[in-house]
A and B are shown apart, each in its own frame.
Chain A
Amino acid sequence: GDSVTQMEGPVTLSEEAFLTINCTYTATGYPSLFWYVQYPGEGLQLLLKATKADDKGSNKGFEATYRKETTSFHLEKGSVQVSDSAVYFCALRGNTGNQFYFGTGTSLTVIP
């Protein structure tokens, strides 16, 4: 069945460091891929998305590219800020469009 495997955390970085959070998926067909972010005490909110191979999603300085050949959707940011401290979830919506599958989440802490 469809699934998402996400880099385990927690991750601690200094401000302005480069961030990569790895995400790989297993799915049939062409799923849609998402990154969600959960700030402390809040619900999840969509960070970025991609619907087909080679699409690049981007938002707030974060980027992720849909790589079908490596079944990956790694999240990157060139220079993190303290305000980026949150839990990040990789997710996919299966080919049928009926269900979403989430990774276990990666906690990021950015220190000044």
Chain B
Amino acid sequence: DADVTQTPRNRITKTGKRIMLECSQTKGHDRMYWYRQDPGLGLRLIYYSFDVKDINKGEISDGYSVSRQAQAKFSLSLESAIPNQTALYFCATSDLPRRGIGELFFGEGSRLTVL
């Protein structure tokens, strides 16, 4: 089983619909992230959380919200989806840098298409 699991893996929806992407991890990491990948733009940070009570906006948080339900769960919501939110979304986790190298571990991605 994957250490970082995202659901759904693929989703097609219509403009204006509410969408939730879920992420769960078994790595025991405190830090969790949501990234968006678009061709030619690389990965852009949407939100990140360093523990259950800590939520921070990334560079492109407008139109998105998140919830950290537990150390292992971090969900991303699009309250009213629009076509330019069509993208590949990645959840990632990391440990504290002082405990090691602190690199990111990624899920397999959730491909969202908004019609």
Contacts and interface: CB of A to CB of B under 8 A. Distances in A.
Contacts of A97: 96-98, 102
A-B residue pairs, 4 tightest by C-beta = A97-B97, A43-B106, A104-B42, A102-B43
B110 to A, nearest CB: 10
Interface in B8-30: none
Contact of A104 (B40, B92, B105): B40
27 contacts: A32-B97, A32-B102, A34-B103, A34-B104, A42-B108, A42-B109, A43-B90, A43-B106, A43-B109, A44-B90, A44-B104, A44-B106, A45-B106, A46-B105, A49-B101, A89-B43, A91-B104, A93-B102, A97-B96, A97-B98, A97-B102, A98-B50, A99-B45, A102-B42, A102-B43, A105-B42, A105-B43
Interface string A81-104: 000000001010100011110111
Nearest to B90: A43
A51 B101 contact: yes
Given A43-B4, A102-B43, 17 more contacts: A32-B103, A34-B104, A36-B106, A43-B106, A43-B107, A44-B43, A44-B90, A44-B104, A46-B104, A89-B42, A91-B104, A93-B97, A93-B102, A93-B103, A97-B97, A99-B45, A100-B45
Nearest to B50: A98
Interface string B45-57: 1001010000000
Interface in B51-93: 90, 92
B109 to A, nearest CB: 5
Contacts of A43: 4, 90, 106-109
Contacts of B101: 32, 49, 51
